[in-house]
Every structure is written in structure tokens, then in C-alpha cells.
Amino acid sequence: MNEVVLDASVVLKWFHAEGEERLDAARDLRGRYEAGDLGVLAPPLLWLEIVNVAARRWGWSEAELEKLAATLTDLGFEPIEPDLATVARWAGRGLTAYDAAYVAVAEETGASLVTDDAEVVRIAPKLAEALG
């Protein structure tokens, strides 16, 4: 089984399609994950980022957010806490600390990071690949 690091820019598309691009690629990853052909690694902040976007940008209700939280917990991604010094190094190269956490997990595990964030791919091209 292949393992990848997925960031919020990809996983968000699993829960909300309106206004999103590259949905087919995100859904393909979800299908491969659900079929057991793909393992997903992520820093624990992934769940916080998704709940935040659903609450703030999408305006989901409290009940919808609680259902989302349960769904996220049930996904079974492998949470990996990145080394803070590695996060700091990537932040020093121009990434937000949040994006740097995903890159750090990819670097530490040897898994590719799949993202829909062109800036992450630009700054960490050996570790990150564009969705799609």
C-alpha cells in the first residue's frame, strides 16, 4: 500500500464541492483510500483546519460541524506529530507553520505530500506534488 500525506486543501474537497477545482483528483484519492489502496498520513492540525474552514468559510451549523468532527475521527488517518525544528526550518523558507507541518511529515516519513497549494509545491518541490 502506498502512503501519502494529504493537506487540508485536498481533504476539504472530500466534504465540500462548491467552488472547488480538481475535484476528480481529490475524489480519486478518497476512493483509493477507502478501497484500502492508499494510506494517509497527516499532522493532527489537519482536523482543526477542516473544522475551521467548515465553520468560518462554509458557515456550517453546530450540528453539521459535530457530524463532520465525528466523520473526521472515523476516517482513520494516521496522525503524525511533526518535529518542531523541521517545521521551523520550512517556515524559515517561506511556508506558514501550518503548511510546514505537512511538509515536515512528508520529509520525516518519506511519503509524498499531495496538495492543491501551488506555493507549497514551489517551496518544497522534492516533497510536495500538485493535486491532479
Q: What digits encode the pLDDT tens for the residues 86-113?
A: 999 999 999 999 999 999 999 999 999 9
* Tally of domains within the chain: 1
Domain containing 20: what range?
2-130
Task: Report which residue type is found at 125.
Answer: P
User: Has residue 20 got a pLDDT over 80?
Assistant: no
Give residue 41's pLDDT band: very low, low, confident or very high (50, 70, 90): very high
Determine the pLDDT at residue 1: 61
Q: What is the mean pLDDT of residues 57-86?
A: 95
The angle formed by the CA atoms of residues 64, 70 and 74, to the nearest 5 degrees, is 140
Report the percent of the chain where pLDDT is more than 70. 99
The Cα–Cα gap between 54 and 60 comes to 6
CATH number at residue 114: 3.40.50.1010
pLDDT band at 116 (very low <50, low <70, confident <90, very high): very high
Mean pLDDT of 103-131: 97
Model pTM score: 0.93
- How far lies 32's CA from each of 16, 53, 58, 125, 128, in Å? 18, 24, 26, 24, 19
- Strands in 128-130's sheet, in edge-to-edge order, are 78-79, 38-42, 2-6, 112-115, 128-130
pLDDT beyond 90 at 130: yes
